Amino acid sequence: METLQQVQDVVSMPRIGDKAPSFKAVTTQGEIHFPEDYNGKWSILFSHPADFTPVCTSEFMTFAHLEDKFAKANCKLIGLSIDGLYSHIAWLRTIKDKIEFKGMKNIEVKFPLIEDISMEIAKKYGMIQPGESETQAVRAVFFVDPKGIIRAIIYYPLSLGRNFDELYRALIAMQTSDAFNVATPADWNPGDDVIISPAGSCGVAEERMTSTDELDCKDWFFCTKKLDKEEVLKNILKKPDLALNN
């Protein structure tokens, strides 16, 4: 019979808007304190089911290949699985020495991979979803902002490799929302029109419909405006490095 604490451990799920649960961990790049070590930067904390498995291998190679691209957007990567440090090291060495995937080879994973044999961190972050597996983490992705707040969460099942274009798109879209105080519509990419938050009063609704400024309002609640791709990228990718510890 499971205790209440054990049940709570398994179903603990941080939510969007929560402070990212704090932890100290052993990783392939030394010890980290999360999210404290990442103050001033975005980070993506992601879990995978196990070392030496093919989908995970393809994902790690892709993330490692894209690490610089995420770094230019002020975003660090941190992986986690319920394996030990030596397994992680052996797997990453094998990836570098032997595995070729979609033209990528000799791929060195330089971002930290957390060992979590005790499942303590995986449970804290709701990465164990017993209907899928009681011993392997699902493919969870937590986007954490420079203040340590969880801004987006995506979960994939064990059998489904993630779409990295979407992870990057989501990161840039959230940074754009923050920088320009706008929202982003379906399938938005830099250069596409952005959404102005809906009018909160009758007066603003009327203004939106009658103003001739930069807004394009199809109705009082659906207004967009142009936002140059260059302006987005200049703001997102050339931000001064705000890192306190990294």
Between the alpha carbon of residue 68 and those of residues 62, 73, 77, 109, 237, the distances in Å are 11, 9, 10, 12, 11
Q: Any contact of residue 183 with ligand BEZ (CB under 6 A)?
A: no
Q: Identify which of residues 89 and 158 has a Cβ nearer to ligand BEZ in the complex.
A: 158
Count of residues engaged in binding ligand BEZ, rule: CB under 6 A: 9
**Single-letter amino acid code for the residue at 21:** P
- Active-site residues: which are they? 56
205 binds ligand BEZ (CB under 6 A): no
Determine which residue in the list 19, 31, 54, 181 makes contact with ligand BEZ, applying CB under 6 A: 54
Question: Toward ligand BEZ, which CB reaches closer, 104 or 158?
Answer: 158
Residue among 189, 183, 169, 187 at smallest CA distance from 225? 183
- Nearest approach in angstroms of CB 79 to ligand BEZ is 13
- Residue 55, interface with ligand BEZ (CB under 6 A)? yes
Ramachandran category for residue 218: left, alpha or beta (phi over 0 → left; psi -120 to 50 → alpha): alpha
The C-alpha atoms of residue 188 and residue 69 are separated, in whole angstroms, by 19
Site track 121-140 with ligand BEZ (rule: CB under 6 A), x = hit = ---------------x----
Q: In this structure, what token pair is assigned to residue 182?
A: 């706008």
d(CA 198, CA 209): 12
Interface with ligand BEZ, residue 50, by CB under 6 A: yes
| Residues found near ligand BEZ in the complex (CB under 6 A) | 49-50, 53-56, 136, 158-159
